[in-house]
Structure 1
Amino acid sequence: MQIFLNTYGTYLHIKDDMFEIRVPVKDSPPKVTLLAAHKVSSFVMATSAALSTDAVRLALKNNIDIIFTHANGHPMGRIWHSKLGSTTRIRKRQLEASLGKEAVNYTIKWISDKMTNQLEFIKDLKKHRPQMSDYLNDKITRIENLIVSVGNLKGEQVADFAETIRGLEGTAGRLFFETINHVMPEQYKFSGRSMRPAKDIFNAFLNYGYGILYTRVEKCLMIAGLDPYVGFLHRDDYNQKSMVFDFIEPYRTFVEIPIFRLFTAKKVNKSHVDEITNGVSLNKEGKELLVNALLDYLEGDNIRYRGRNQTRANAMQQEAHVFANELIEKDVEPDSIEL
């Protein structure tokens, strides 16, 4: 499991070869939790917490990464073991693929999958909102047309159509969030996407959720032996994890769906955010609400993936391995995933 340390003054150290987490409680003794290393996949340190060098050593020994994030949930850095997790052959092939037709095919697939997942989400909304069928049918038709346009793109390298596919993706995204806003309870409506900072409570939840997903995707890529920095569509700017931004696209609904459910169930209120300059930011209570819902969606429910029942988190990891194996031409099973 992934452990989030969100409380100011939390201390992570070792006791009896186990992780001990001490969380301060006002006017009471600290809350103490003991965790065996094999039960932990990563620690996410989002606020002013402390950890011991022994805790770092135990984490490294057990391939547990320690992630440090900004207040909005986006990763700042991580402590991770020095092993690549696979041979350098995968990363060499990833770089070669980025320069030619393979990158074209993967880019089209990932963006098409993202838009298809958005489309399926809207179709699901339609099942429960027949009074909005005309509005939703219009969005469905327009996104279907955009998916066809993406599938028809041609080029010998991604640069040949990069601006076009970004435009198509952006249009689909705008239609998708317009739809979410349209069906949202009145008190939660928002005016498009806003990031740094979020202008409203929905975008604050969304931004923090994406930050969690970024760390998950980066780890999936690293475990599979892939380079998070060598992307196909996103630019290779200085220190930009371009492949994380590429590979994450089909999985954004893994964040959007559980957050949407929190809002439509009216579990969110103004007490979950704090006012900041020019916007709002999730506070401790808001982060806890989101993290619990997101982890339950990623790790609690099973989906059908390659003929097996697996969590969404496991399916995402397996898809990273499939991608790596395809690059080095190892045998892989047919691509199939239900989101």
Structure 2
Amino acid sequence: MQIYLNSFGTYLHVKDAMFEIRVPNERGGTTSHHLAAKKVTAIILTVAGALSSDAVRLALAHNVDLILADHSGQPLGRFWHAKLGSTTKIRKQQLAASIGPLGLGYTGSWLTAKIAAQADFLKDLKKHRKHAHELLDERRSRLLELAASIETCVRTATRTDEIADTLRGLEGTAGRLYWQTLSALTPEPYQFAGRSFRPAADPFNAFINYGYGILYARVEKALMTAGLDPYVGFMHRDDYNQKSMVFDFIEPYRPWVDRVVFRLFSGKQVNTTHYGDLAGGVTLEKPGKELLISALGEYLDGDKVRHHQRVRSRANGMLADAHRFAQELLGKDLQDLEIVEL
């Protein structure tokens, strides 16, 4: 269970060895919610609120991810346990991989996995859109060609930095084709002119940006739980305070957010109460955030899918992938790998 606290005046503390969340109500009082720590995997505070040191201690004792996020859902900071275990050795291997062929191999696989997932999404969209079959087939074919080009580039190099600009160019071309296609299939009032970031230029991108913010937090937790360093990436630049590995590792999972957001718009679940104007762009209002949090949470945690010979939620599958990545860096036999699902 993941808890998002996005109401002003929320207070998180401990009562009777449980989390108690006090939320202001319309009558001027507060409504209390009690949660057993063992049932909670993460608590995300997205706006002005308060928490007690006892709540932090209880979260640490039960490995509950406690995240402070900005209004867009992007993590600002988190509390996590001070005992690193095998983390030091994993991070040394991660750093070594970042400057050699191993890091290049992972970079290529993550990028091609994302483009393949985008192509699969376009294929799925054909089921109820006969008028768009030709467009979807053509765009899917071009995406797969670009993925194949990335694989070819990776085979001809030994380090990511040798071909980083080429990889970004191929990825960027795939992205433009992909978003143009999704825009063309989005209901007309919400069609958009490509990706836009902070601020979003339109409601669709505002939903996408917020969804990615939620996913960033999930990916960062998965990496840290597996003992990996979110700041040591293989492709994205290691700029000051940039979580390069989060940006690398998230790539294959971005289409999850795309599917959920597209479904909300194509299903006409989005209306003008869900977003509002921001200086130079568009932002999500509280109802829009709640709509997306609920839909994305169900997609990540509620649905079960086949993953490495097991049936898991998508969120636990991503966590398993992070553990596999860490164990591969250590050169361990994955047949003996025990995955801890949180």
Q: Name the CA distance, whole Å, in 1 between partners of 2:87 and 2:197.
A: 37
Name the structure 1 match of 2:39: 39
Counterpart contact for 1:85–1:224, Cα < 8 Å = no
1:234 is matched with: 236
Aligned partner of 1:72 in structure 2 is: 72
Aligned equivalents of 1:74 and 1:223: distance in 2?
18
Q: In structure 2, what is the equivalent of residue 132 of structure 1?
A: 132
- What does residue 142 of structure 1 align with? 142
2:261 to 259, 264, 275: 259
Q: Percent identity?
A: 54
Asked if the contact 2:87/2:228 (under 8 Å) is kept, the reply is no
Match of 2:331?
329
Is 1:85–1:223's contact at 8 Å kept on the other side of the alignment?
Answer: no
Residue aligning to 1:320: 322
**Pick aligned residue for 2:184 from 177, 182, 185:** 182
2:209 pairs with 1:207 = yes
Distance 2:4 2:333 in 1: 37
Distance in 2 (CA, whole Å) between partners of 1:54 and 1:148 is: 52
SS in structure 2 opposite 1:252?
A: helix
Distance in 1 of aligned mates of 2:272 and 2:83: 44
- What SS is found at the alignment partner of 1:7? coil
* Aligned counterparts of 1:45 and 1:38: Cα–Cα separation in 2: 19
Paired residue type of 1:238: Y
Give CA-to-partner distance per residue, 1:234-283, whole Å, 9 cap, x none. 11111111110000000001211111111111101110112111111111
Aligned-pair Cα RMSD in Å = 1.2
Query: 5+ unaligned residues in a row in structure 1: which ranges?
Result: 335-339
Kindly indicate whether the alpha-carbon contact (under 8 Å) linking 1:84 and 1:222 is maintained by their aligned counterparts in 2.
Answer: no
Displacement of 1:179 in angstroms is 0.9
Task: Determine helix, strand or coil for the equivalent of 1:309.
Answer: strand
How far apart in 2 are the matches of 1:51 and 1:273? 28
**Residue 51 of structure 1, CA deviation:** 0.8
> Paired residue for 1:118?
118
Segments of structure 2 that go 5 or more residues without pairing to the other structure are 337-342
Partner of 1:167 in structure 2?
169
**Shift of residue 65, structure 1, vs aligned partner:** 2.1
1:220-299 paired onto structure 2 within 5 Å: 220-299=222-301
Distance 1:90 1:271 in 2: 46
Distance 1:195 1:43 in 2: 25
Shift of 1:29: 3.6
The more displaced of 59-68 and 294-303 is 59-68
Distance apart, 1:127 and its partner CA: 2.3
Matched residue, 1:337: none
**2: CA distance between counterparts of 1:85 and 1:41?**
20
The TM-score normalised by the length of structure 1 is 0.96
TM-score by length of 2: 0.95
Query: 1:100 maps to what in 2?
Result: 100
Q: Which moved more, 1:213-222 or 1:275-284?
A: 275-284
- Residues 77-92 of structure 1 mapped to structure 2, 5 A cutoff: 77-84=77-84, 86-92=86-92
Report the CA distance between 1:333 and its aligned residue.
Answer: 5.0
Residues of 2 paired with 1:150 and 1:223: CA distance? 30
- Between the aligned partners of 1:82 and 1:311, the Cα distance in structure 2 is 28
Q: Once the two structures are superposed, what CA deviation does each residue of 1:53-102 show, in whole Å capped at 9, x if it has no partner? A: 11111111111121111111111111222122534111111111111110
